[in-house]
Structure 1
Amino acid sequence: MSREIKRQLRESAQAYQPDHERMAARVQRGTSAPAVRHRSRPRTRPGPRTVLVGLAAAVALATGGFAVAAIVHPFPTSGTATHTAVPSPTMPSPSADPATTSAAASSAAAAPAASPSSSPSPSPSPSAAASQVQSGPLWSAGSVDAKSTVYWEQNDLALRTAGPLTALTVEVRIALTGRVQQTGSWRTLPSDDFTVTIQQTGNSLDYRWVLKAGRTVPPGQHVFAVQFNHTTGTRSAAGDNYRVDARGPAGGAVSVWGGFAGR
């Protein structure tokens, strides 16, 4: 309380003068009047004013409580507020049905493996047991010429006879591997003595020489060669083969056949 208020209260108290006569009269009236029995006032429900006063007091108490709570635990401001992310529950992924998995595995195991695509099957190359390189006076040998390259090839058939031949047919079959395309042929014997044909039949490129009637092949060694292009790379001659049928002056027929040895 300030000093000014204290001073004013003190001056008001000093200036107050009680009315003694009026006070004495009130005392006298009270003592002379008959005693009156005072009835207790019935208890009544609190009026609207009382309710409003109570509500005001409750609001004041609540406000004070919030104020205390704000002092003890201050609310975070927008600049310092932190939010803790509550992780959402993770649903487990459905496991594979064992029955379906077993069925798929069985189907995969039962399915035949796909065979790789391949070019047309060439004529089988004669094996050692299927080859016959010599018969009577006739001997033969097939090989890939050393002058062959990665895109061009020559196969040589060496033919040797101990006596003259009055009939001779030579056939060379080149398997159609590596996109084979014929580029020609030659032989050491005179070209006018033979009829030459080159044609594709089935899975092979066939070269054929036939000795003309009335002509004779002298004794000695002779060469028949075939030439062709193919895709770049080393080509296998495993599917290539030959066959020779001949006859001598005495009328005996001989035949030889086989394959071509690689480089």
Structure 2
Amino acid sequence: MDELKRRLRDAAHAHHPDRARILARVAHGMAPAATRTPWIRVAGVTAAVAVVLGAGAYTAAAGLGSDVADRSVSAPRPGRVLADGAVAPHGNRFWAQNNITLTSPRPLTALTIDLRVTQTGGVASTGHWRTLPADDFTVFVREDKDGALHYTWTLKPGRTAPAGRHVFAAQYNHAEGGRDATGDRYTVTATGADGEPTSVRGDFVP
């Protein structure tokens, strides 16, 4: 019995599983039957399994072909400017505020933000603000023919918006009751110190 245990233990220590083959077989099994052949069609599933299994599994997936390795990496582009729109939670039945949160990993030498508030009844501007210095921006508020409001912030020539997180807010009255902001939109155009332009569009969520 001791001899049998020793042989089993030695065999276990000597065993080195073929991670690449295991990974490939798992991915092949996860794919729909109609797409299991040819083999390259399971590249996307293989990449997903590689991420879950960790760095070692990723190396194994890369062995299946460059297509698999490329699809398993989805890092954001360096220096990308991000924006997010949201309706501030402290509004009431007659008044609301739309916020645009801008996040930039680099200084911006040009920046324009346009926020459109759809006319849903009784919409009228009551003000605006931003976390960056007021003297660095020109601000215009205008009304379209359909009654929609536009708030536009433009960085003045020669000024720079620093890297970081910045908020731009538009305030307005509206008809009594809960206002539907799904028709509101914003556009952000920016240029970094390296001259690379960026454009971001989005909408607002309650």
Band of TM-score, shorter chain? 0.5 to 0.7
Separation of aligned partners in 2, 1:169 and 1:187: 13
Q: Can you list the C-alpha shifts for 1:226-253, whole angstroms capped at 9, x where unaligned? A: 0000111000001101000000111110
Rounded Cα–Cα distance in structure 1 between residues aligned with 2:169 and 2:78: 21
* Structure 1 equivalent of residue 140 of structure 2: 197
Matched, 1:226 2:163: no
Long gaps (5+) in structure 2 = 1-76
Query: Which residue number in structure 1 is paired with residue 115 of structure 2?
Result: 172
Question: Which whole-Å deviations, capped at 9, do the CAs of 1:139-182 have from their partners, x for residues lacking one?
Answer: 11100001110100001000000000000000000001121010
Cα distance in 1 between the residues matched to 2:131 and 2:78: 21
Give the alignment of 1:197-216 within 5 angstroms: 197-203=140-146, 204-216=148-160
Aligned to 1:148: 91
Secondary structure of the residue aligned to 1:236 is: coil
Whole-angstrom distance in 1 between the partners of 2:168 and 2:98: 9
Q: For residues 211-234 of structure 1, give each alpha carbon's deviation from its aligned partner in whole angstroms, at most 9, with x where no partner exists.
A: 000000000000000000011100
Which runs of structure 2 are paired with 1:5-20 in the superposition (5 Å)? none
Give the percent of matched residue pairs that are identical in Structure 1 and Structure 2.
47
Larger radius of gyration: 1
Gaps of at least 5 residues in structure 1 are 1-133
Q: Is the 8 A contact 2:84 2:100 kept in 1?
A: yes
* Pairing partner for 1:217 from 161, 171, 174: 161
Asked whether the equivalents of residues 135 and 254 of structure 1 are also in contact (C-alpha less than 8 Å), the reply is no
Task: Write the distance in 2 (CA, Å) between the matches of 1:252 and 1:166.
Answer: 10
CA positional deviation for 1:210: 0.5
Counterpart AA for 2:180? S
The answer as to 2:129 corresponding to 1:186 is: yes
CA contact (8 A) 1:238 1:259 kept: yes
Structure-1 residue corresponding to 2:193:
249
Shift of 1:135: 9.3
Task: State the one-letter code of the partner of 2:149.
Answer: L
Partner of residue 102 from structure 2, selected from 147, 156, 159: 159
**SS at structure 2 position matched to 1:192:** helix
Provide the rounded CA distance (Å) in 1 between the counterparts of 2:83 and 2:93: 26
**Whole-Å separation in 2 of the counterparts to 1:200 and 1:229:** 14
Structure 2 distance, partners of 1:245, 1:159, is: 11
Q: Write the mapping of 1:92-103 to structure 2, written as runs, cut at 5 A.
A: none
Deviation at 1:202, TM superposition (A): 2.8
* Partner AA of 1:141 in structure 2: D
- Bigger fraction of residues in strand: 2
Question: Please, what TM-score do these two structures have when normalized by structure 1?
Answer: 0.48
Q: Retained in 1: the 8 A contact 2:79–2:106?
A: no
Q: Distance in 1 between matches of 2:83 and 2:195?
A: 20
SS at match of 2:198: strand
